[in-house]
């Protein structure tokens, strides 16, 4: 699979595998099959969190399962591992105070059976903690070797800019990756996000990331299977002509619609004002193989322009 060398030095596959439901609604056996399939396809970028999936368990399941898989397969050094801190899990853990960051990194390292995290995300902004306290705590993890690079997820653009400005002024480790929702379908911006800062990416954010040479990891990019089954379309997206068009083009190209969405996202950096985009999704092993075809799918400049114009 194609690899992308990010400005922060990480060399990642062109799409990331989400492990959100591993160990809860996705059984250990199915999760192992998915992980093995992803590696067989040449993937190396795996995404989890310290609270996945607490709504279906305790929040420890995903990291714990991945740790067991790393140990059994002996493949930790072949994976670029991302995890997160900052969201609530059954009334505890929410926030980015120094003591929370320092506690939860050790918990994540223990469960993941590793001594470092390649990419550590602030899972959501914490407006009640001074930015300086948060960035200094993250920087200490980098200096100790527990974390290689930092990312932000579910942040307003201006807050990310302030955090990185402070990091530059104080010689601290900056955020170098943004993880946020982006898909091909147009969002209904009048529909509020599920929780604070959980916004769908707009053009202004894309221009910001492009200007800062910061890659975007786009989660929820396949709209819960709506490209294959429009009845599954989330309320915050508009279907209509754009959905019809990408389904029609996918049929012409002989791929499933989700694969074409992956291809569109992976090629957006060829268009003016767009950053590098890395699609992030999970799937069954069979779906994973189908969707991964999008990474190798050829899109002409004319096709990209047509997709963007709808």
Q: Which of 52, 121, 184, 219 is catalytic?
A: 52
Determine what percent of the chain is predicted with pLDDT higher than 90.
96
- CATH of residue 172's domain is 3.20.20.100
Kindly write down the DSSP assignment for every residue of 130-183, as one continuous string. -HHHHHHHHHHHHHHTSEEEEEEES--HHHHHHHHHHHHHTT-PPEEEEEEE--
pLDDT given for residue 278 in this prediction: 98
* Residue among 6, 105, 2 at smallest CA distance from 44: 2
Annotation marks residue 121 as catalytic: no
pLDDT given for residue 9 in this prediction: 97
Q: What is the mean pLDDT of residues 166-195?
A: 95
pLDDT given for residue 94 in this prediction: 93
Q: What is the mean pLDDT of residues 211-231?
A: 97
CA-atom Rg of the chain in angstroms? 19
pLDDT given for residue 71 in this prediction: 98
Write down the mean pLDDT value for the chain: 97
pLDDT given for residue 194 in this prediction: 87
pLDDT given for residue 111 in this prediction: 98
pLDDT given for residue 248 in this prediction: 97
Cis amide bond preceding 122, omega within 30? no
If pLDDT is split at 50, 70 and 90, which confidence band does 189 have? confident
pLDDT digits over 132-150, tens only? 999 999 999 999 999 999 9
Q: What is the mean pLDDT of residues 174-191?
A: 96
CB atoms within 10 A of CB 186: 15
pLDDT digits over 224-248, tens only? 999 999 999 999 999 999 999 999 9
pLDDT digits over 28-60, tens only? 999 999 999 999 999 999 999 999 999 999 999
pLDDT digits over 9-28, tens only? 999 999 999 999 999 999 99
- DSSP single-letter state for residue 14: S
User: Is the pLDDT at 110 greater than 90, yes or no?
Assistant: yes
User: Is the pLDDT at 164 greater than 90, yes or no?
Assistant: yes
Domains of the chain: total:
1
pLDDT given for residue 196 in this prediction: 87
Range of the domain at 181: 3-309
pLDDT given for residue 195 in this prediction: 86
């Amino acid at each position: 699979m194609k690899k992308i060398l990010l400005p922060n030095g990480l060399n990642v596959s062109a799409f990331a595998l989400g492990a959100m439901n591993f160990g809860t609604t996705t059984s250990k056996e199915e999760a192992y099959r998915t992980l093995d399939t992803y590696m067989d396809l040449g993937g190396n970028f795996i995404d989890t969190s310290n609270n996945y999936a607490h709504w279906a368990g305790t929040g420890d399941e995903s990291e714990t399962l991945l740790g067991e898989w790393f140990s059994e397969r002996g493949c930790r050094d072949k994976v670029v591992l991302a995890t997160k801190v900052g969201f609530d899990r059954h009334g505890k853990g929410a926030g980015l105070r120094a003591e929370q960051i320092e506690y939860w990194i050790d918990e994540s390292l223990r469960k993941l059976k590793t001594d470092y995290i390649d990419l550590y995300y602030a899972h959501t902004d914490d407006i009640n903690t001074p930015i300086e306290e948060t960035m200094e705590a993250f920087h200490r993890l980098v200096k100790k070797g527990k974390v290689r690079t930092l990312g932000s997820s579910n942040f307003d653009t201006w807050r990310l800019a302030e955090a990185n400005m402070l990091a530059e002024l104080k010689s601290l480790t900056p955020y170098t990756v943004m993880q946020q929702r982006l898909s091909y379908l147009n969002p209904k911006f009048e529909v509020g996000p599920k929780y604070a800062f959980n916004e769908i990416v707009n053009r202004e954010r894309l221009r910001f990331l492009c200007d800062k040479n910061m890659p975007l990891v786009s989660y929820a990019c396949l709209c819960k299977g709506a490209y294959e089954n429009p009845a599954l379309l989330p309320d915050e997206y508009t279907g209509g002509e754009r959905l019809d068009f990408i389904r029609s083009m996918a049929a012409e190209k002989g791929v499933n619609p989700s694969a074409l969405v992956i291809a569109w996202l992976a090629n957006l950096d060829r268009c003016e004002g767009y950053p590098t985009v890395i699609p992030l999704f999970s799937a069954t092993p069979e779906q994973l193989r189908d969707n991964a075809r999008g990474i190798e799918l050829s899109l002409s400049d004319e096709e990209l322009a047509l997709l963007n114009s709808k």
